[in-house]
Amino acid sequence: MLSWIFMAKKTENKQDYSAKNISVLEGLEAVRKRPGMYIGSTGVQGLHHMIWEVVDNSFDEAMAGHCDAITIRLLPDHWISVTDNGRGIPVDIHPKKNISALELVMTTLHAGGKFGDGGYKVSGGLHGVGVSVVNALSTDVKAEIHLDGKIWTQEYTVGKPKASVKAVGKTKLRGTTISFRPDASIFDTLNFSWKTIIEHLRQQAYLNKGVKITIIDERSAEEKEVDTSSVPFDKHSYQFYFEGGIASYVRHINSNREPKHDNIFYVEKQVEEVSVEIALQYTEDFSESLHPFANNITNPDGGMHVSGFRSALTRTINTYAKNKKILKEKDSKLSGEDVREGLTAVISVKIPDPQFEGQTKGKLGNPEVRPAVENTFAEAFAIFLEENPKDAEGIISKCVLAAKARNAARSARDAVLRKGALEGFTLPGKLADCSSRKAENSELFIVEGDSAGGSAKQGRDRNIQAILPLRGKVLNVERARLDRILTNNELKSLIIALGTNIGEMFDIEKLRYRKIVIMTDADVDGSHIRTLLLTLFFRYFPSLINNGNIYIAQPPLYSIKKGKEMIWLYTEADLEDYKKKHNITDGEIEMTDEPPEGTVQSGDPKKLNLQRYKGLGEMNPEQLWNTTMNPETRRMKQVAIEDAEKASEIFDILMGAEVAPRKKFIQTHAKNVKNLDV
């Protein structure tokens, strides 16, 4: 099969544009020309997708019941190998292509057991192209197949076979090993993240109960040193095996949360061609933690399985509460938002022909999945509530309390809006708004304190930049419901300034600023305030993060004055680079706490005078503009969620009510903290 990419060459006039101007890329050439189309990117995520594409083939064997052990090795010189004990890729000659089936799978797009009859009934795979894309984007690949008592091998260079498939020995084993080394000319980096691999494969182990997954790090010491992500994962090997499947997954997610009931609900059922597996447990948290999967692929945007689950959850809990006379009033009813507060749930469905919306497979569209999930869950959960009255009591009490809080939050929100209307504007008085009314051009800077706020207001571009100073540390929303958030003056001002409303009334189309920038001091208090604000956005405005609206300003950490010139250094690394570039030792540096405009060569005139900043208020308006707010020169970090589950876990640890997990986290990471201000 050919893959086509049409490339129009620049011509003097359209009469010169003809068939000769059309380039046809055959085989795997298209993959190398446009790798982002096949693995998402050529950055860190795309690099790791190479592993997932190979591992997914092994999981396909597992879902088909032919594999129960998978081993992933990180080898020296950026090699990766994936071994499974499945049936082994066939090596016999394909009847139509007249080449070995192994070579066909390794060198042809869309060739494999998931595209025709007699292969896999259920399969995953990130983009449906699999190991052939890995072959195309690697300098070297080796396939080793244990099949029918023989060991078969074939090697490839940049996607092309070096020789035919051949038998090189005898074996009593069965299975497949694919070893590959990504092409450095394609990828921005070849440094694999031990942490990323561990976390992804742990999740897959939960979704494939009964499959033993082993990950071994055999890289050189130099390569491990480059992998800074491996700090929390100092072991050189991990093994995952979960008989409990997604019930164990829910227990893992809730490990740092306080559960409302002891028993984890779990159901598994086959409904015609749809396999349904659901596990859930309620906690004292105020947010929902829902993790949907289809054929082991995460679906962050939900889909038919989520719709069926939520409908059944609301109906079943309301029916139980009314039957038990907990909801006594005739018209009283718990909403979907009420029954989802504090819920941790994992939904996993497996279907023969999944229909996804979007290239990233974020949303499942198969209509037959909804009734299968809805009916399976409703029946099993109703039985669970009846057979576990103590657990049911904990669940229903949580939902009823959430309903009361929701009503209180609605009253608080209405009061906020009414107050804004009475003042003549919906904007808080402390907000220094920009003159532009075009959201796509506007920026909101959330600034710590009145001092920094004053400098920011004077130094900003008044046309496009708005300033909102916050006084003190804002409310920790990880431990508060919406009603408390709406009565907190600082957060209330922020919510009104954003314009999107909050909770069930949230509307991203009403966002008043394209960029929301958190600008805090470079000290412990500033970091804490930044974390509190990120907690608010993560829990109550996740769409703003996913939409790329949230940024963190990066003010300079040091300044050096040389005559009339001011040199700004933003990080410790910048300072070290400056010292190396100019051959400066620590003994030749003199630190000062004087404001930058007063910085002179005080003390020893031979020493370099260095200013260390802790607060934005130490800079005058012009300096704050030049270093931190000017779009032409500033440094800003865009906030993104790479792993929603891991992000939620970190917020639970750092901002939740449980002290023990936070203490353990601090003890584990304390040795990696540099220049801590106390």
What would the two tokens of residue 50 be? 């190479």
Number of H helices, E strands in the chain: 21, 25
State CA 432 to chain mean position distance.
Answer: 33
Residue 643 DSSP code: -
Cα(344)–Cα(280) distance, integer angstroms:
6
Cβ proximity of 445 and 629 under 8 Å: yes
Q: Are 93 and 68 in contact (CB under 8 A)?
A: no
- Give which of 446, 450, 599, 459 is closest to 515, Cα–Cα: 446
Question: CB burial class (10 A; 0-12, 13-18, 19+) of residue 509?
Answer: exposed
d(CA 73, CA 19): 47
What's the number of CA atoms in the CB half-sphere (13 Å) around residue 545?
Answer: 19
CB neighbourhood size of 401 (10 A): 14
Distance CA 82, CA 177 (A): 5
Could you tell me if 639 and 534 are in contact, meaning their C-beta atoms sit under 8 angstroms apart? yes
Pairing mode of beta strands 274-282, 356-357: unpaired
Tokens of 618: 């130490």
Buried b (16+ CB within 10 A) or exposed e, 274-298: bbbbbbbbbbebbbebbbbbbbbbb
Distance, C-alpha 496 to centroid of its chain:
28
> For residue 597, which phi and psi values (nearest 5 degrees)?
-70, -15
Closest CA to 540 of 606, 618, 600, 475: 475
Residues paired with 147 in a beta bridge: 150
Q: What is the DSSP letter of 180?
A: E
What is the DSSP secondary-structure string of 15-34?
Answer: GG-SGGG-----TTHHHHHS
Query: Is residue 585 packed enough to be buried (19+ CB in 10 Å), middle (13-18) or exposed (0-12)?
Result: exposed
In this structure, are residues 201 and 215 in contact, taking their beta carbons and an 8 Å threshold? yes
**In angstroms, what CA-CA distances link 411 with 387, 414, 416, 418?**
37, 5, 9, 10
What token pair was written down for 295?
């054929």
What distance lies between CA 298 and its chain's CA centroid? Answer: 11
d(CA 71, CA 49): 17
Q: Which of 415, 396, 298, 399 is nearest to 354 (CA)?
A: 298
Residue pair 239/214 in contact (Cβ under 8 Å)? The answer is yes
Annotated catalytic residues are 448, 521, 523, 525
